[in-house]
Structure 1
Amino acid sequence: MSTVDLDAAYRLNPCTALDVLAHCCERRERCSLGTPDVVRFVRALVMHASVRDALDAADLGGTSRARVVAALEHLAATGVIVTAP
């Protein structure tokens, strides 16, 4: 499984439509976060210099932050999100 680099910038893979992102996140056993939250967070990634900055801006509690990182791990491993150039 791919490890998300919290200090790198990520974005939605240009080859991935948002409906694919939503479909991936409906599978809670893999994404562990509801679709609207993950879609909203992934969209916000492009506005931040790194995943860590996006997480800090989201002001998540420890448990929620860990769940978001786990969701990002899955999305990176499946190519739904990629590092930004």
Structure 2
Amino acid sequence: MFDAERPYRCSPQVALRPEPFGALVYHFGTRQLSFLKTPELLDIVGSLELHKDVRSAVDGAGVPPDRRAAYLKALAGLAAAGTIEPR
């Protein structure tokens, strides 16, 4: 279960390719292609290992308070898909 108070990282089985809209995400284990729909989400996923928890990564990316819930929901989806994982 996703917990934004825990430390996460991008899975080592995932490759991110930055794009103007965000990023393409390829998971080598599941062979699934997905998308990060904003550059901010790419920044958050890329910086997870630098922060003590997910909320700190979201704050560090400068996400406005009124949009934090949407980003946490997106990150929960990425955790469910195996794109990010607890560390």
* Length-normalised TM-score, structure 1: 0.72
Deviation, 1:41, is 1.1
For residues 27-71 of structure 1, give each alpha carbon's deviation from its aligned partner in whole angstroms, at most 9, with x where no partner exists.
xxxxxxx23221111001111011122223234223311111011
Match of 2:48 among 45, 50, 62: 45
* Bigger fraction of residues in strand: 2
Equivalent runs, 1:2-81 vs 2, <5 Å:
3-19=1-17, 20-21=24-25, 23-25=33-35, 34-81=37-84
Q: Is the 8 A contact 1:25 1:38 kept in 2?
A: no
Distance in 2 (alpha carbons) for counterparts of 1:63 and 1:5: 19
Q: Match of 1:29?
A: none
What is the RMSD of the two structures over their aligned residues, measured on CA atoms?
2.0
Gaps of 5+ in 2: 18-23, 27-32
Ranked by relative contact order (alpha carbons within 8 Å, sequence separation 6 or more), the top structure is 1
